[in-house]
Amino acid sequence: MQKTILYAVLNWGLGHATRSVPIIKGLISRGYQLVIVSDGEALTLLQNEFPEEQFEATKAYDVVYAPKAGNFNAELARQIPKFMFAIKSEHLDCKSLCIKYNVDYIISDNRYGFFHKDIPSAFICHQLHLRYPNNRLIEKIVNKSYQSYLKKFTQLWVPDLAPPNNLSGEMSILDWVNVHYIGIDSRLNKLTPQTSYQYIAILSGPEPQRSILEAELLIKLNHTRGKHVLIRGTNVTYEYTIKDHVKVYNLTNTETLNKLICSSEKVICRPGYTSLLDLLKLGKDAILIPTPGQAEQGYLAEKLQRLNYFDVQKQGEIELSKDFQQKRPKLSFGYNFELIQSFLSC
């Protein structure tokens, strides 16, 4: 009898959706019936990728970033009641959908309410330990609360190599027996098309920081010779003046994005974890621009810059002419479906 998986994906930037694409494809090819749950642009992206699958919408976390780095954590803290309400709301959705579709398993990419006490549930996350580098006491208090949510899941799947070779460093290390490292992968594949563009800028993530970076990059690209591409990461309309040598997309499917990146000399993007895996798999030079105040992106960018994998620049101080010698690490890509299958056999 065909088993049904409820697969929930967070809409907080597009990285959670895009890194789930290879897993969803693998599950479909193995004969599982999927009900995919998300909201906003992540839901749209997955609907475009898998038009034949069943979809359900759930409540958005509706995160807003602070305009200034110094207010980042305070702004997120202010929104905690809203996040908790969203988690409670999606948990009710989860229980309802489990009954509606007679669900056998739950897989959740960073949606904390998608678990069920009577159904095996796996939680996909590369950040099992939240970092507050300037305040260890706050870090300890926050992680005690945060990890209480993680304890609700049967297994924790880290989309990374096992320590000590893990790309996400100390963020993904948690000494629990149900933590499993499922490997790294990307929905993209290396192509060798003719180089058509000098820069491709890929935007994603919550407002207002997405728009702030968009405005800066459009000025830079408008005044930089050569042909460039900007992928805005949103369907919201814009009113910028864009010169003919800059081609603009709102959202793209996997095939189009893959071709555009591979036909560009250099990528400009946030150092979101999934974006980094895309770049490493494709072997692309990149300028990483961390979201101001976001500790996770700052940590990842600094770690990979030390390894000479990528150039890192500050928002507001971007220099497209800057030179940086980048290394090409040899990494093994592909999720461990034997491990995933063992969970789906319990």
Per-residue pLDDT of 26-49, as tens digits, reads 999 999 999 999 999 999 999 999
Given a contact cutoff of 8 angstroms between Cβ atoms, the answer to whether 4 and 104 are in contact is yes
Residues 171-195 have pLDDT tens digits of 999 999 999 999 999 999 999 888 8
- Which amino acid appears at position 172 of this protein? S
Over its C-alpha atoms, the chain yields an Rg (Å, rounded) of 20
- Which amino acid appears at position 124 of this protein? I
- Supply the DSSP string of 178-190, one letter for each residue: TEEE--B--S---
Residue in the structure block whose two tokens are 């979201």: 291
Domains and CATH numbers, the chain: 4-184+334-343 (3.40.50.2000), 197-312 (3.40.50.2000)
So what's the pLDDT on residue 139? 82
CB neighbours of residue 270 within 10 Å: 25
Q: What is the mean pLDDT of the chain?
A: 93
The pair phi, psi for residue 266, each rounded to 5°, is -145, 145
Q: Which residues make Cβ contacts (< 8 Å) with residue 264, sequence separation at least 6?
A: 195, 196, 197, 198, 199, 200, 229, 284
Beta-bridged to residue 268, according to DSSP, are 201, 287
How many whole angstroms separate alpha carbon 108 and alpha carbon 110? Answer: 6
Q: Is the pLDDT of residue 143 over 90?
A: no
Residues 212-269 have pLDDT tens digits of 999 999 999 999 999 999 999 998 887 777 889 999 999 898 999 999 999 999 999 9
Sheet with 121-124, edge to edge strand ranges: 54-57, 33-38, 4-9, 105-109, 121-124, 155-158, 179-181
